A = this chain, B = another copy of it.
Amino acid sequence: MPNLWDNAMVSAQTNLLDPNIWPLSATRTDAGEIAIAGVPVSELVAQYGSPLFVLDEADVRARAKAYHAAFNDSEVVTEVFYAGKAFMAGKVIKWIVDEGLNVDVCTAGELEVALRAGVAPERILFHGNNKSVSELERAVEVGVGRIVLDSFIEIERLANIASARGVTVQVLIRLTVGVEAHTHEFISTAHEDQKFGLSIASGAALEAARMVIESDSLSLLGLHSHIGSQIFDAQGFEIAAQRVFDTAVSIREDLDFTVSELNLGGGMGIAYLGEDDPLRVEQMAKALHEIVLKECERVQFPVPRLLVEPGRAIIGPAGITVYEVGTTKDVDVTDDLARRYVSVDGGMSDNIRTALYGAEYTVALASRNSSAELIDSRVVGKHCESGDIVIRDVRMFSDIGPGDLLAVAATGAYCRAMASNYNHMVRPAVVSVVDGKSELVLRRETIEDLLALDAGVN
């Protein structure tokens, strides 16, 4: 017997919407249609087109508010930065900042969105392994609150830029802590084979701290660590924090400098499937605060300001993608196994995560209820590529056909953000819904938008 909350089984079997997966205000109307904040998806598609990303504004705000509240319920003073790379748009940034969060950006483009959304520069943190000179100049010019330094080259580069302007820039140093966390597992090594950060083990981190402390134009606030994504519990953070505190102690002992901030990064996971069970924000905040206090006790360190950087955890569950079914096809996989291919009007251009990471999602028939039998199905896109799969394996109603709307849950993060125009498909609109009213967050592209770049068409 499948678990009641098994992958897509709930929505498929009962038309119910698992509240751990779907947006807070997602409901079924009396007519059986999925509605967000009271607006049926068919109305949204009629107004804005299909495919369509729909954001539940109240959900985004509630998650941002919950992060702010949970991480401020401690003697460990904490600032929460929304990791804009998950999804960056002016209105979303306004909601999130409104609820008390700051913003983490990693390119000139993301910085520009934050600034034009009205975020105070001191509430912005700038990340990245290869920030360009012009990006650093822009960050210094507008006065972002923190820049996370990621290499020796960058330390020198930023020091020169700040010095030339006669300003002092507040920075953190990104450490490679040798911890990689994912869901319920983490690996811990002495080294870390990745592009981010300065190695603790090799002494690079300490040397970077020395360079920053000796610079007249850089002010060292603290240390940064980021251990992975889709993290469901706090164990990986605990090991990382130990190494970060050990580094802080080395800096205190060797360089006679006490850092005042500790950024443990992001990666807090969300539920894509019924069986996913990430820590609730209150649990995660409590765990991280306890880890910090325990470490301060262990190494006799003054309690630093804590920073965290959730992205997906704020925006992911609040968004869904609505697609229209175009064709269906039954395929004999073997002599004994059949599969229904359900083709929708989007695909790997609006959600590359299935193809790129083997990501799994929950899908529901959105435009109506059904009581038809369930059959082995695969939801695919319309791109000219056989790997263009939205959901690899799902039991779906056998009466699903052209014109039906499907909704894929938890697509608020890393879907529109990573969207392409593969096959000259236009990227869908993103709309927000609150209190029965919808509005545009990002408008749908048009073919004219694409052709505007093309020097060879009229």
**Which of A's residues lie within 8 Å of B, judged by CB?**
83, 85, 88-94, 106-110, 112-113, 116-117, 127-132, 150-154, 176, 190-196, 198-199, 201-202, 326-329, 331-335, 339, 341, 343-345, 352, 355-356, 378, 380-386, 388, 401-402, 417-427, 439-443, 445, 447, 449-458
Contact = CB atoms under 8 A, between A and B. Distances in A.
Given A106-B423, A153-B326, 9 more contacts: A109-B423, A112-B451, A130-B380, A132-B382, A151-B343, A153-B329, A176-B331, A193-B333, A195-B329
Contacts of A456: 89-94, 117, 441
A447 B37 CA distance: 32
A454 B154 CA distance: 31
Contact of A423 (B107, B150, B195, B333): B107
A426 to B, nearest CB: 7
A106 to B, nearest CB: 4
A383 B418 CA distance: 11
A90 B193 contact: no
Given A327-B129, A382-B129, A91 B455 contact: yes
B445 A327 contact: no
Given A356-B355, A419-B420, A108 B195 contact: no
Given A327-B154, A454-B113, A456-B91, A130 B356 contact: no
Given A352-B352, A419-B420, A457-B117, A193 B339 contact: yes
Given A109-B425, A329-B195, A331-B192, A453 B442 contact: yes
A202 B332 contact: yes
A151 B402 CA distance: 12
Given A199-B331, A380-B195, A116 B458 contact: yes
Contact of A331 (B109, B127, B131, B191): B191
A352 B356 contact: yes
A333 B454 CA distance: 43
Given A112-B424, A153-B402, A194 B451 contact: no
Given A109-B424, A191-B331, A327-B150, A443 B439 contact: no
Contacts of A150: 327
A343 B129 contact: yes
A130 B191 contact: no
Given A195-B386, A356-B352, A442-B453, A423 B110 contact: yes
Contacts of A116: 451, 457-458
Contacts of A341: 129, 195
Contacts of A329: 129, 151-153, 195, 198
Contacts of A176: 331
A119 to B, nearest CB: 11
A387 to B, nearest CB: 8
B153 A327 contact: yes
B113 A451 contact: yes
Nearest to A193: B333
A381 B195 CA distance: 9
Given A326-B132, A331-B191, A331-B192, A107 B451 contact: no
Given A106-B423, A424-B109, A132 B453 contact: no
Contacts of A335: 190-191
B130 A326 contact: yes
A113 to B, nearest CB: 6
Contacts of A193: 331, 333, 339
Contacts of A427: 453
Contacts of A152: 329
B154 A384 contact: no
Contacts of A426: 109
Contacts of A117: 456-457
30 contacts: A91-B455, A91-B456, A106-B383, A107-B382, A107-B424, A116-B451, A116-B458, A127-B384, A129-B329, A129-B382, A130-B343, A130-B380, A130-B382, A151-B328, A151-B329, A151-B343, A152-B329, A153-B329, A193-B331, A194-B386, A195-B329, A195-B341, A199-B331, A202-B332, A352-B352, A427-B453, A442-B453, A442-B454, A449-B449, A449-B452
